Structure 1
Amino acid sequence: MNKIDPTLYLQSQQTSRAPSNDLGKDEFLKILMTQLQNQDPTNPMDDRDFIAQMSQFSTLEQTMNMAKSIDDLVQSQLISPVIQYSHMIGKEISYQAIDKETGQKLDVEKGNVIAVSQKEGWAILELDNGEKVYADAVLQVSDPKSNSNKS
């Protein structure tokens, strides 16, 4: 007959724990249950105190959920270059034209942005003259309506 050594189980258990600054639902409920179990029976916790603690916890939880939602929204907005540069549609831009074969700089050209797309994480402005320009190559942005009033 084989006998199981109980010390093996104890030796395999984690002996230290890492402290955490986060107080989640489970931790709060454990604290609350401990508080209720150890209260003085001759002077129990007032219902109002209990309700106030639950209300504070609920408010904190909702605030944390809202903060996470806002962070997620901000991250999703930062990821999409199309959204970042969509305000450029309808604007006139000036850009340094480059010869596609030689890579040499040509004259500064202008065009109106008609669409925004993305390629490999980079925003590409599609112009009414058929050109596609990386957004970081733009030298100037102007409103074509204000330019037509100058004539």
Structure 2
Amino acid sequence: MTPKRKRLWLLVGSLGVLGVSVALVLSALSDNIVFFYSPSRLAEKHVPADRRFRIGGLVETGSVHKDGSEARFRVTDLNRSVEVVYRGILPDLFREGQGVVAEGSLGPDGIFSAQEVLAKHDEKYMPPEVAKALKESGRWQEGEGTVR
């Protein structure tokens, strides 16, 4: 074998190893990726029932119902809303009309089953899709970054 042919085989082998490595990394990452949707985007997408993702928006006023450790509420972006069921202790900052992000999966009945609920941590936090919907509806106070 000539030196030129040896270098060619070394290059082909290196590219093969690199390709396998990239495929393994992407495969591992695909299991850990969690997508974020607003209620309107969720209505447009067809998310499989077992797919874990995050939904964010405002807790709809008058929608919070607690029964023991189970809480039911609706998350809205002022265009659409999604019912959420959460079993556990809600964060201290959780309340109606405030921003929230819930992580879980959508059931076949259209109810989002949350395994984790995160309430906003300061007055300026809001998912970008929800902030846009609030600005369009006129409920956004521009100077403060809060909802009226």
Structure 1 and Structure 2 fold alike (TM over 0.5) = no
Structure with more strand by fraction: 2
Q: TM-score, structure 2 length as denominator?
A: 0.34
Q: TM-score, structure 1 length as denominator?
A: 0.33
Structure with more helix by fraction: 1
Between Structure 1 and Structure 2, whose CA radius of gyration is higher?
Answer: 1
